[in-house]
């Protein structure tokens, strides 16, 4: 076995990571609670501005709820790059077009991001919309493993 193929042989054809159902259920539930609270306060206190706030949170909850529909969101890793889907729209990135994947945490929110090759090396300019049922650190490690293995085998 040559060194050129050993990198790709340890990777399967594709790895699928589904959207984080707990995250999106939590966002939808919190949004529904805030909507109910604002509608109650809007009606009882005759404050129409709270009704507008309820509408904003209703949209947020609906957006989060859409991520729970099978096929609407996910992450696919393959030997050439990755594809992430949100609202049935796929976005593709090739491993050789991006820098290593970074993970970070802002408050309670864990995020995974990356830069394009020509971007300045500061904070990630592109961030994935989810961590796909694993921690941000685990996702970054998995994606960097796929990236490094694929680039090693291609070079």
Instruction: Answer yes or no: do 51 and 82 share one domain.
Output: no
Q: In what order do the strands lie in the sheet with 89-94?
A: 14-18, 73-78, 81-86, 89-94
- Confidence grade of residue 123 (pLDDT, cut at 50, 70, 90): low
Count of domains for the chain:
2
Provide the whole-model pTM: 0.75
- Tens digits of residue pLDDT in 96-117: 999 999 998 878 788 999 988 8
Instruction: Answer yes or no: do 121 and 138 share one domain.
Output: yes
Structural domain including 150 reads 3-18+72-154
Q: Output the pLDDT for position 133.
A: 92
Instruction: Answer yes or no: do 43 and 58 share one domain.
Output: yes
As a whole number, the mean pLDDT across the chain is: 85
- Spatial CA neighbour of 15 closest among 150, 137, 109: 150
Instruction: Answer yes or no: do 36 and 110 share one domain.
Output: no
Instruction: Answer yes or no: do 62 and 121 share one domain.
Output: no
CATH code for the domain of 115: 2.30.29
Q: Output the pLDDT for position 32.
A: 85
Instruction: Answer yes or no: do 56 and 81 share one domain.
Output: no
- Spatial CA neighbour of 117 closest among 132, 134, 98: 98
pLDDT value at 143 more than 70: yes
As a whole-number percent, the residues of the chain with pLDDT over 90 amount to 37
The label of the residue with tokens 């594709």 reads 14
Instruction: Answer yes or no: do 62 and 76 share one domain.
Output: no
Instruction: Answer yes or no: do 13 and 30 share one domain.
Output: no
Instruction: Answer yes or no: do 83 and 103 share one domain.
Output: yes
The answer to whether 138 touches 150, Cβ cutoff 8 Å, is no
- Confidence grade of residue 9 (pLDDT, cut at 50, 70, 90): low
């Amino acid at each position: 076995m040559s060194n050129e193929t050993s990198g790709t042989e340890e990777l399967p054809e594709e790895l699928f990571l589904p959207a984080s159902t707990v995250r999106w259920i939590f966002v939808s539930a919190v949004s529904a609670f805030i909507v109910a609270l604002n509608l109650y306060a809007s009606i009882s206190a005759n404050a129409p501005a709270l009704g507008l706030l309820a509408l904003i949170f209703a949209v947020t909850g609906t957006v989060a709820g859409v991520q729970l529909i099978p096929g609407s969101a996910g992450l696919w890793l393959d030997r050439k790059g990755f594809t992430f889907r949100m609202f049935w729209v796929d976005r593709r990135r090739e491993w050789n077009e991006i820098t290593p994947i970074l993970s970070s945490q802002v408050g309670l929110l864990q995020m995974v991001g990356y830069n394009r090759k020509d971007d300045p090396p500061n904070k990630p300019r592109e961030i994935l919309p989810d961590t796909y049922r694993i921690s941000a650190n685990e996702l970054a490690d998995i994606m960097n493993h796929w990236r490094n293995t694929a680039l090693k085998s291609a070079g």
